[in-house]
Structure 1
Amino acid sequence: MSNSPLFEPIHLGAIALGNRIVMAPLTRGRSGIERIPNDLMTEYYQQRASAGLIIAEATQISAQAAGWGETPGIYADAQIQAWQRITSAVHQQGGKIVLQIWHTGRASHPDFQLNGALPISASAVKPAGEIHTIKGKKPFVTPKAASLEEIAGIIQDFAQATRNARQAGFDGVEIHAANGYLIDQFLRDGTNQRQDAYGGPIENRVRFLLEVTEAVVDAWSADHVGVRLSPTNAFNDMTDSNPIATFTHAAQALNSYNLAYLHILEALPGHMLAVEGERVSPYIRQVFQGPLMINGGYDATSGAAAIANQEADLVAYGVPFIANPDLPERFAKQAPLNEPDISTFYTRGAKGYTDYPFLDPIVTAA
Structure 2
Amino acid sequence: MIITDTPIETLAGSILDGASISSEQALALTALSGASLQSLFAAASRVREHHFGNQVSLCGIINAKSGLCPEDCAFCAQSSHHATGVACYPLLDQDTLLAGARSVAGHGAACYGIVTSGSGISEGDELEQVCAAIRAIRAEGRIAPGASLGTLTKTAAEQLKAAGLVTYHHNLETSRSFFPQICSTHDYDDDVATVQLAKQVGLRVCCGGLFGLGETMAQRVELALTLRELQVDSVPINFLDPVPGTPLAVMQQLTPLDCLHTIALYRLILPDVHITICGGRQRNLRELQSWVFLAGASGIMTGNYLTKEGRQPADDLRMIEDLGLVIAKEMLR
TM-score of the superposed pair, with normalisation by structure 2: 0.50
Which structure has more helix as a fraction of its residues? 2
Where relative contact order (Cα < 8 A, 6+ residues apart) is larger, the structure is: 2
